[in-house]
Structure 1
Amino acid sequence: MHRGHGTHRGAARVALHAEQGTHDGPSRFHTGDRFVGRSGRHDLSHRLRDLAPPVAGHLGSERKEQIPQPAQVQLLADRTAAERLDHARGHRLQHHQIRSAGGRVRAVPGRHRGRADVHLALRRGRRVPEERRTVLAHRHHRSGRREPGGGAQVAGEPLTYICNQPINPDGAVTRGRTPHGKKQAMKITDVAITHINPKLADRNVDKKVQFRTIDTQTVFKVTADNGVVGYGESRGHVTMDIGDVERLTGSSPFDHINAGYPVGLMGALYDLMGRHLEIPAYKLMGQKVRDRVPVAAWTRVASPEELAAEVVRAVDEGYMIFKMHTGEYYDVYEQNSAVEEVAPAGFKMHYDFNHNRSLPDVARIVEHLEKSPVVGVIEDPIVWRDVDGWRRLREQTSIPLLMHVPQLGGGPEIALGCADAYMIGEHGIGMSLKRGFACAEANVSTVIQMTGGTLNKAMALHLGAVIPNVMYTVNLDDQYGEDVTGGRIEVADGCSPVPEGPGLGVEVDEDELVRIAGNPVTELPQYIGKTRLPSGNIYYTIGYPSVHRLTGFTEGNIRGIRLDLWEEDGSSSWQETYDWIERRGPFMRKESE
């Protein structure tokens, strides 16, 4: 038998107090599940898990202790530092039971000298912080008499339950359970979504049509009840289902680790959790395997001349990898030759072939590009569902093949050997981690693509810190002239550092967020597409052309093809051409006509 400390297996504390007068020394002893009071004993056969009315738990075999209504709920607070010091000096202390009165504490007459199981305090009028409140629910039991409702018999003493339920200032019990002496669990109180329109980099301000839709972002702000705030970002103007918002509000952010929410929202949750714990976000994902992650620059489909200029720009900024979608209105051979003329040794191109062709349509193109020293990766060379075609092409070429969206979920494609690497990132954080670790087990690699500004890139770098096999990340932060963080993450020798600060490790400038949110949505001009063929013929279309529909040839199989965009210039010639196409559809004519 040993002296009790007022706990019963961590579930609840049971204290036996003298109803009247004072006493010195401990009031009961604890052995196993039996509590022995000064005037009697009883068995506690059930742990007290919740003190919500009407039942707290079982006493004896079938007895149930009724819990008082909120008006009867009392508050407890720790002793003051001075009282603890006096106690250490051997002084007897004056303790008071205290009740809530609009969140304040007032003394209730009564003395309890000597060692107390629950230290009651404090001086009259002191406000008790909510996180330090616990519920004290009790019912006095007269000696030898059982109160209506089946209260437990403990002769001459009140039976007191103490649970770890925080209460509101009005005395109502809340649902959160907070261990005595520990902080209450962090809860989400607000989820805010802000649509912003960051300006493009100066070099692209006159290319609104070419860079359409990338100048829109959504910033997620998640606020917790402890004042901690997390930010994340997605490209485009993203909305959320009201049900998702309701599920988040009032819950712990840790309940949503690896959930399937938009990448920007997940970034905000990881930022919030990391800041709360004062650790970088990657520590919530796995073991860190690298300090820096290779990064790729990016541009939209470009003419050979524009692509060469972008490669020079990227190299000057520290990049050694560059991603671009090919297009059916440019010749990929000419584009690649232009890169070869300006790229330094070791520079690699990542060509996205748009998953729109069959193996016969693309095999010769891949064979030609295989001879180039600047070709690093080909993404989606054929349609996704042709898993056998992927496998056969991979056997034929030494160029690494990257699959963006596995149609069978990723596992079968990995098992069949369809690709050398798989895209992760934009499919969701949970899926990215799962697929990333699966790829590592199969000894294939990944490319992380999370397109947006600095917040999005930071999240990608945290993923890249823990996924074992990562070739590089693809981001769009190099395409913007402004950012809500006020800057960009450093790029040097082809890679960027994993942020080590709390959360995502980058800070949002609230003033910049408000300012950029005030930018107007970009208005696109009307434009005509002029697709030039090797023969000198030009196809005129409203908007970008469908070359396959106009000519019957699949992408990449017309040498020398190129597109010029003719934006509205106020001329009668432009208006007449536009009106003609609207009435009769696309047409072709010789350039000299």
Structure 2
Amino acid sequence: MVKMNSEIERIELTPLHVPFKPYVINAMSQSEGGLGMAIGSEEAWLGGDFVICKLYSKSAKVGLGESFVWLPESGVSAFQIIDSIKNGLSNYLIGENPFNIGKINHRMDINIARSDVAKGLLDMACYDLMGQILDIPACFLMGGKNSEEIPLAALIPLGDPMLMKGLVRSYFKKGFRTFRLKLGKGLEEDREIISTIRKTFGEKIRIRVDFNQSYAPSKAVQVLKMLEPFQIDYAEQPVAADDYLGLAYVQKSTSIPLMVHEGFFSLKDFVTLVELGAVRVLGLNSERPGGVSKAIIALNYAKMKGLEVVLHNQPLGIASAMHIHFHSAFYNDIDHPTELFGQEMLQDDLITNPIKYHDGKAEVPKGAGWGVKLDEKALQRFATDDTTIIES
């Protein structure tokens, strides 16, 4: 029954840009560079660039995928992702059964180097398509629904300490109890931010920090040593994305667990970082390390190595649903609240049946696959080019 008319016969890829909400742009503009973080990029960040993927089976079922791109982090644009699928990766999906997901990933990997974001987009859509064909939630294809809802973390952009404190207070009132604070302005500036917020909220909140590659290794050690008394869950990307040896030096010099974001795209990236002793937290999302299948492999590897796991991203509705299903499936293996902040930052989520958020939590969407429906009108409204269609 599963194989009957399940083969993929059509792929549709649409690039789009969804602007940030005005209050988000205003809050980010308070930081040097106007990005709400310490990354030294000259690329504007006024919204999210995405690719939406639709996989059609012969039985007329549709699977949805979504990828977020920003050149300073992803290194590829939406158009490059579409090109790599159109002129390469699609060869290993068209005519293939999505339930042969291991075979699909193997063929993509041996024939097309890297391209982790594009591969992840297709892999994600396959899981939704499998769920649609079987008429079951996608979490049951990973490990089951082990929780009806998941805890969430809030993102606080870099800015004036009083502004950041006010944002924490606002989300605290909404039920959030975990916060990612953007840091990286300097030792004294970071001290003022963290001490202000910890003094105000005490042990009622959990704090994780994100440096966005802002420090050299020796400086990162100084800053992290300063932060150690403030009960930090983990610190994200304190040094340059490609400085694996520097990161290992930093991790060995601080008691605060480190996590990489900009420096991690493939499974081999993560294994290398772990073997170097450079990280103690695995940060997964829909782009890293390339879809659901590889995220499962990475999670299992991390847990066997005694590492902690967190999910984090600022996606639209499709990828938000994917993260929620994944967290539910691996509820007992994920150590930190998931950070999903697209619904707070972006003007639209591109789904017609909103995900239910309340009291700092998200409910697992009900229904087949990811449990969400694409808003076709919104897709056309935010599209930056025509939809690319690939058929057998």
TM-score (norm 1): 0.51
Q: Is the 8 A contact 1:454 1:487 kept in 2?
A: no
Corresponding position: 1:456 with 2:319: yes
Specify the code of the residue in structure 2 equivalent to 1:384.
Answer: Y
Hey, what's the Cα distance between the residues in 2 that align with 1:269 and 1:235? 17
Give 1:217's match in structure 2, choosing from 50, 62, 66: 50
RMSD between aligned residues: 3.1
Give 1:410's match in structure 2, choosing from 270, 273, 277: 270
Give 2:143's match in structure 1, choosing from 286, 303, 312: 286
Hey, what's the Cα distance between the residues in 2 that align with 1:201 and 1:497? 23
Q: Which secondary structure state, in structure 2, belongs to the residue aligned with residue 216 of structure 1?
A: strand
Q: What are the within-5 Å matches in structure 2 for residues 13-24 of structure 1?
A: none
Specify the code of the residue in structure 2 equivalent to 1:469.
Answer: D
Q: What displacement does 1:197 show? A: 2.2
Report the CA distance shift for 1:271/1:409 in structure 2 as closer, same or farther (over 3 A).
Answer: same
Specify the code of the residue in structure 1 equivalent to 2:205.
Answer: F
Hey, what's the Cα distance between the residues in 2 that align with 1:200 and 1:360? 35
Hey, what's the Cα distance between the residues in 2 that align with 1:254 and 1:294? 30
Tell me what 1:427 maps to.
Answer: 289
Corresponding position: 1:229 with 2:62: yes
Q: What are the within-5 Å matches in structure 2 for residues 543-562 of structure 1?
A: none
Q: What displacement does 1:418 show? A: 4.1
Percentage of matched positions with identical amino acids: 22
Specify the code of the residue in structure 2 equivalent to 1:215.
Answer: G
Q: Give ranges in structure 2 of 5+ residues lacking alignment.
A: 37-44, 70-76, 106-115, 386-392
Q: Is the 8 A contact 1:486 1:512 kept in 2?
A: no
Give 1:481's match in structure 2, choosing from 332, 347, 363: 347
Q: Deviations over 1:288-335 (max 9, x none)?
A: 544433322224433323322322232233322222432337921122
Report the CA distance shift for 1:411/1:355 in structure 2 as closer, same or farther (over 3 A).
Answer: same
Hey, what's the Cα distance between the residues in 2 that align with 1:509 and 1:485? 5
Q: What displacement does 1:496 show? A: 2.1
Hey, what's the Cα distance between the residues in 2 that align with 1:498 and 1:319? 17
TM-score (norm 2): 0.74
Q: What are the within-5 Å matches in structure 2 for residues 60-75 of structure 1?
A: none
Q: Which secondary structure state, in structure 2, belongs to the residue aligned with residue 263 of structure 1?
A: helix
Q: Which secondary structure state, in structure 2, belongs to the residue aligned with residue 331 of structure 1?
A: helix
Specify the code of the residue in structure 1 equivalent to 2:348.
Answer: E
Corresponding position: 1:244 with 2:89: yes
Tell me what 1:132 maps to.
Answer: none
Report the CA distance shift for 1:299/1:189 in structure 2 as closer, same or farther (over 3 A).
Answer: farther
Give 1:201's match in structure 2, choosing from 2, 13, 21: 21
Flag the structure with larger Rg: 1
Tell me what 2:39 maps to.
Answer: none
Give 1:308's match in structure 2, choosing from 148, 165, 180: 165
Tell me what 1:296 maps to.
Answer: 153
Q: Give ranges in structure 1 of 5+ residues lacking alignment.
A: 1-178, 520-593
Hey, what's the Cα distance between the residues in 2 that align with 1:386 and 1:501? 46
Give 1:446's match in structure 2, choosing from 296, 309, 319: 309
Tell me what 2:234 maps to.
Answer: 377
Q: Which secondary structure state, in structure 1, belongs to the residue aligned with residue 9 of structure 2?
A: strand
Q: Is the 8 A contact 1:311 1:342 kept in 2?
A: no
Report the CA distance shift for 1:197/1:313 in structure 2 as closer, same or farther (over 3 A).
Answer: farther
Q: Deviations over 1:368-426 (max 9, x none)?
A: 222225x33212334422365245224xx2x3332444696434544565433122222
Hey, what's the Cα distance between the residues in 1 that align with 2:46 and 2:20? 11
Specify the code of the residue in structure 2 equivalent to 1:224.
Answer: S
> Aligned residue pairs: how many?
335
Specify the code of the residue in structure 2 equivalent to 1:454.
Answer: G
Tell me what 1:511 maps to.
Answer: 377
Higher relative contact order structure (alpha carbons within 8 Å, sequence separation ≥ 6): 2
Report the CA distance shift for 1:411/1:427 in structure 2 as closer, same or farther (over 3 A).
Answer: closer
Specify the code of the residue in structure 2 equivalent to 1:204.
Answer: V
Q: Which secondary structure state, in structure 2, belongs to the residue aligned with residue 369 of structure 1?
A: helix
Report the CA distance shift for 1:183/1:359 in structure 2 as closer, same or farther (over 3 A).
Answer: closer
Q: Which secondary structure state, in structure 2, belongs to the residue aligned with residue 254 of structure 1?
A: coil
